């Protein structure tokens, strides 16, 4: 364990260290731990993505989709075909 994560325990199953709900602590603390860990791993990930020729795909496709996914998590999905179709047309 790193000093940033005392009291959070380990990951459960394939869950992530910070966001596994089975770990103690508030959601904000778990999210903060997840953010700090990701921030510190980005140098390593960037190097790996550049070596694999995937850095552009990551920065131009993967990262912009995060905003969409976060909005979907906050707002939820439409429950009618009409609402789902409207969401699909927005994405496309």
Number of domains, the chain: 1
List the chain residues with pLDDT less than 70.
Answer: 1-25, 77-79
- Residue 10 lies inside a defined structural domain of this protein: no
Nearest to 5, CA basis, from 14, 18, 15: 18
The first and second tokens of residue 81, run together, are: 């075909």
62: three-class secondary structure by DSSP = helix
- Residue 54 lies inside a defined structural domain of this protein: yes
Q: What's residue 78's pLDDT? A: 58
Nearest to 4, CA basis, from 22, 14, 17: 17
Phi, psi of 85 (to 5 degrees): -65, -40
Enter the pTM of the model: 0.52
- Residue 4 lies inside a defined structural domain of this protein: no
- Residue 83 lies inside a defined structural domain of this protein: yes
Q: What's residue 51's pLDDT? A: 97
- Residue 67 lies inside a defined structural domain of this protein: yes
- Residue 7 lies inside a defined structural domain of this protein: no
- Residue 22 lies inside a defined structural domain of this protein: no
Task: Report d(CA 75, CA 58) in Å as an integer.
Answer: 25
- Residue 18 lies inside a defined structural domain of this protein: no
Instruction: State which residues form the domain around 63.
Output: 27-91
């Amino acid at each position: 364990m790193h000093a940033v994560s005392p009291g959070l325990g380990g990951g459960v199953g394939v869950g992530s260290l910070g966001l596994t709900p089975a770990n103690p602590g508030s959601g904000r603390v778990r999210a903060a731990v997840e953010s700090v860990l990701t921030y510190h791993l980005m140098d390593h990930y960037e190097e790996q993505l550049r070596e694999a020729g995937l850095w552009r795909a990551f920065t131009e496709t993967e990262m912009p989709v995060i905003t969409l996914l976060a909005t979907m998590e906050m707002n939820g999905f439409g429950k009618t075909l009409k609402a789902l179709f409207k969401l699909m047309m927005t994405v496309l």
